[in-house]
Structure 1
Amino acid sequence: MEACNSYYYATRDPLGRDGDFTTAPEISQMFGEMVGAALADVWVNAGKPADAIYAELGPGRGTLAADALRVLRGAGFSGEVHLVEMSPILRDHQARNVPDAQWHDSLQDLPAAPLLLVANEFFDALPVRQFVSGVERKVTIAAGGLAFDRDGEIVEDSPVQEAAVSAIATCLTQCGGVALVIDYGHDRSAPGDTLQAVRGHRYVPTLVDPGEQDLTAHVDFEALGRVAKDAGAAVTKVVTQGSWLNSLGIGARAAALATANPQRVEELEIAVDRLCHEEQMGQLFKVMAIRSPDWPVPAGFGE
């Protein structure tokens, strides 16, 4: 999975109508603006630390960063921008959208500073392991193609995901800040095969054409939260993307944009529906905040 995704992201822009999938920031500017509003609010309530930085993991085309930073800058934030991205193709897009950014190959390379960090659809692309009856499931060659070596009830874990969230939580604990984790997945650990492949906006067999399709797995938010707490960070409850965006005021933002741009009314209604409705992204996608124990709880979590 790691090898396939490394090649996949290094050799194409997978986003948009002509790509393989569309992420929330590409659906509407309102998504990034809500992220920026949440970060601006928590930064202000934390006392506006001047050394705080904006950081994003797997920032796609830089669309989310550009929209979020527009709101953050409006609130007085003037900190540096750091993007963790290995794909040269996506870095080119990001450079156009966020020209003042600095790039890193690994989140471990981020500066030791208070973080305003966003990980939107980042963890789902990190490799998982699968086990059947306690034995790790592997890929083998059969009949000239690839096949799994065993079937049965599957339990997944991801040491790579856990290492990443541990590094984030350690930095937050030591330096301050907050991280927003937004992804599709489940709020409670449970058995099940969630590995999937997408190509041309359709699900396809996971072992066909390795490196030519997007491989992801559902994020286990309970496991991530447990690792973050073990590293000393505070963790909010997990909420759905729909409830989070609605509590932050996406409806009011859509109304304001519609008033200023009457020709966009239908477009804005469709965007809010895609982002928030439970049969679209609203229910499957979850949001969790990890923070320094010294920082306030971000808005939108009902705490």
Structure 2
Amino acid sequence: MTSLPDLIDTQIRANGPMSVASYMGLCLTHPAKGYYKGADPLGAGGDFITAPEISQMFGELIGFFFVNLWQQMGSPKAFTLLELGPGRGTLMADILRVACRAEGFRDSLDLRLFETNPTLIAEQNARLEPYDPKWVDSFDKIGAGPLFVVANEFFDALPIRQFVRGQTGWHERVVGLVDDRRAFGLSPTPIPNAALPDTVQDAPLHAVFEVALAGGEVMSRLAKNVSRLGGAILAIDYGYALSQTGETLQAVKNHAYADILAEPGEADLSAHVDFEALGNVARKAGLAVQPLVSQGEFLNRLGIGERAKALSAANPSAAAGIAAARTRLTAADQMGTLFKAFCAASPGLRPSGFSE
């Protein structure tokens, strides 16, 4: 069968250079050869490790977060909990282990998972089968009642477009071929200045601005459903609070940075999330957007310190590992500051962790 690199190169030869978004989409989600169609990318034997794999405390606190919102809404007898990109199912298993202790939560739950990786779907099923999960391929396929959404390191993996400030204005960055090797270049046609936010119009020469149209579309669909049904969207990811210039697209393989163009489909591609842009989309749909907080602030406010003490008391031999995990999740020089917690919810709800 034709390899993904050959498919991409053939498409470029036939149609000309492709946008960065098109390249990312093929690399990550090609139906047969995309990165997310391959083996399990998580853990020490994969390419990266996410917060739920570091400690059960992460998911347990998010379980409390959703129980609190569910109770604020009067403990509805039917609601949907949807996770985007559930990985191995670790996060949701930890969420539900805590959340289902609340009377009525389990009986009211309709669990939905958005996932495309067959290997991960099998692992999710193994962990979550007691909760009768349903896998969906659309953000519109949801059940009855309020909708709660959790997305940990999901938006960073959605395709972005890149624009570069040149002498004659902003030009889209594209992927083409130079001497039969993939290379970045610029579209010769500048885009209208009005197509980009006012905040970047005075950017210096060669500045890069990234636009996550796919992320905005996902947020729009989710927010419209939450606005109609009631509920909340919790997204935790690395990114920045305000729209700004800066190149953040990266490739990771075997826990190290890799060449973005060298091995299509063999490395994870991601970019920092523009949370201001996501917030603007959610507000337009009628949701209340909470002040963005760092992951460290969020977990500390939810009580990770107290949870760590309780786990250490119950498992004294694991105390050092529990303390190390807490530090990794919350410390400013590790995941605590780079990662942010974003929440858009029905007006009137008071999501835990977003205020003192």
Bin for the TM-score computed over the shorter chain: over 0.9
SS of structure 2 residue aligned to 1:302: coil
Letter of the structure 1 residue corresponding to residue 156 of structure 2: D
CA deviations 1:39-94 (Å, max 9, x no partner) are 11111111111111211000100000000011110112121110011111110010
Q: Helix, strand or coil: the match of 2:263?
A: coil
1:111 aligns with 2:143: yes
- Show the counterpart of 2:350: 297
Extract unaligned runs of 5+ from structure 2: 1-23, 187-204
Show the counterpart of 2:191: none
How many angstroms apart in 2 are the aligned matches of 1:121 and 1:282?
14
Q: 2:317 aligns with which of 233, 258, 263?
A: 263
Partner of residue 149, structure 1: 185
> Which residue matches 1:72?
99
Which amino acid in 1 is paired with 2:113? L
Secondary structure, aligned partner of 2:251:
strand
Q: Are residue 129 (structure 1) and residue 182 (structure 2) matched?
A: no
Match of 1:86 in 2: 116
CA distance in structure 2 between the partners assigned to 1:178 and 1:277 by the alignment: 27
Give the conservation status (yes or no) of the 8 Å contact 2:290–2:354: yes
Following superposition, which runs of at least 4 residues in structure 1 exceed 3 angstroms of deviation?
none
Q: What percent of counterpart residues are identical?
A: 48
Question: Which stretch shows the higher mean deviation, 101-110 or 54-63?
Answer: 101-110
* Residue number among 14, 19, 37 corresponding to 2:41 in the alignment: 14
AA in 1 matched with 2:172: E
Structure 1 segment 1-303 matched on structure 2, within 5 A: 1-6=24-29, 7-76=34-103, 77-78=105-106, 79-99=109-129, 100-133=132-165, 134-150=170-186, 152-294=206-348, 296-302=349-355
Structure 2 counterpart of 1:145, one-letter code:
R
C-alpha distance in 2, partners of 1:90/1:83? 11
**Alignment check: 8 A CA contact 1:57 1:107 kept:** no
Contact 1:277 1:283 in 2 (8 A): yes
Distance 2:141 2:81 in 1: 14
Give me the whole-angstrom Cα distance separating, in 2, the residues matched to 1:60 and 1:163. Answer: 22
User: Contact 2:79–2:143 (CA<8 Å) still a contact in 1?
Assistant: no
Cα pair 1:34 1:248 within 8 Å, conserved: yes
SS state at 2:100 partner:
helix
- Normalised by the length of structure 2, the TM-score is 0.83
State the distance in 1 between where 2:254 and 2:140 align. Answer: 33
SS of structure 1 residue aligned to 2:82: strand
Matched position secondary structure for 1:139? strand
Q: Name the larger-Rg structure.
A: 2
Length-normalised TM-score, structure 1? 0.97
- Amino acid corresponding to residue 112 of structure 2 in structure 1: H
Q: Is the 8 A contact 1:124 1:219 kept in 2?
A: yes
Q: Deviations over 1:266-302 (max 9, x none)?
A: 11011001100011000000001111125x1210111
SS in 1 for 2:140: helix
CA distance in 2, matches of 1:50, 1:167: 24
**Does the 8 A contact of 2:56 with 2:94 survive in 1?**
yes
Q: What amino acid is aligned across from residue 89 of structure 1 in structure 2?
A: T
Distance, in Å, in 1 between the alignment partners of 2:183 and 2:62 is: 40
Aligned residues: 302
2:125·2:133 contact (CA, 8 Å) conserved in 1? yes
CA distance in 2, matches of 1:290, 1:52: 17
- Residues 146 and 273 of structure 1: CA distance in aligned 2, closer, same or farther (over 3 Å): same
Amino acid paired to 1:300? G
State the AA in 2 paired with 1:5.
Answer: L
Distance 2:322 2:128 in 1: 24
Q: Which runs of 5+ in 1 are unaligned?
A: none
- SS of residue paired to 1:71: helix
